[in-house]
Chain A
């Protein structure tokens, strides 16, 4: 327990739920496995979406790629949040003060802002485009930005244990 952390995180780690996760033989392990499997689903979907928006896979209809991949991205993200919450709860007071975790949270916020901006302003431009149509510059930029941000998030996630 790190008493220097804000009270809410000390309380979360000290809660019955926190203790249950730490003391279970399987909970922490299952959350770890769940986190990496969710990441695989999320990264696969985001990789397809973002590379398409960046201009790759030109022979596909971008709107259709978006529609199909988005479901898996949402599914993967939900799994990441859920399993991540379990991992976080077990060590909340330590992890919240971890500089890499703080950077990771900031990058996730940035990634979600990019998703919101894309869905509001850019996705409508792409929806009806035919295969082999050049994509608008802002759509391509958003796709590249998204790829970079989410890869940085993944790197931070793995790095938490080393700081």
Chain B
């Protein structure tokens, strides 16, 4: 029984040693960024669509939303396809270099919420 309690404690305590992938906790909401530029690569896939965007200084990986949510809000795969220009407002990752999670994007003249 003690072992099980320890397991639970270990699980909840792991946050300190997080090897984060895409946990929503590991983004710096205090320092939002806006990334604007052409889309270099685009993956319109679940669990989240992802694009890489060539901004003035570097290439950002921009994490968007689940594809069904994007589609239901009017953000199609074509709007975020390779070569299109996008502007994404969101929070930079505190774990993965040059990755950000978009709160909203502007593409094809439309602004769409991702959350």
Contact = CB atoms under 8 A, between A and B. Distances in A.
A25 B25 CA distance: 26
A91 B20 contact: no
Contacts of B25: 162
Given A22-B46, A97-B19, A98-B19, A163 B8 contact: no
Contacts of A27: 46
A156 B67 CA distance: 25
Contact of B46 (A29, A110, A145): A29
A100 interface: yes
Nearest to A97: B19
B29 interface: no
Nearest to B26: A162
A44 B23 CA distance: 28
Contact of A103 (B10, B20, B24, B67): B10
Contacts, number: 73
B32 interface: no
A144 interface: yes
A22 B68 contact: no
B37 interface: no
A155 interface: yes
A163 B46 contact: no
B47 A90 contact: yes
Contacts of A21: 46
A145 B45 contact: no
A163 B10 CA distance: 13
Max chain A Cβ within 10 angstroms of own Cβ: one of B8, B10, B66, B71? B8
Contacts of B44: 23
B68 A148 contact: no
A121 interface: no
Contacts of B110: none
B91 to A, nearest CB: 15
A56 interface: no
Contacts of B22: 161
A32 to B, nearest CB: 8
Max chain A Cβ within 10 angstroms of own Cβ: one of B11, B19, B25, B67? B11
18 contacts: A22-B46, A23-B44, A24-B46, A25-B71, A28-B47, A97-B19, A98-B21, A99-B14, A103-B7, A103-B11, A148-B1, A148-B4, A152-B7, A152-B8, A155-B8, A159-B11, A161-B23, A163-B18
8 closest Cβ contacts across the A-B interface?
A162-B23, A28-B46, A22-B45, A148-B4, A22-B46, A152-B8, A25-B68, A163-B18
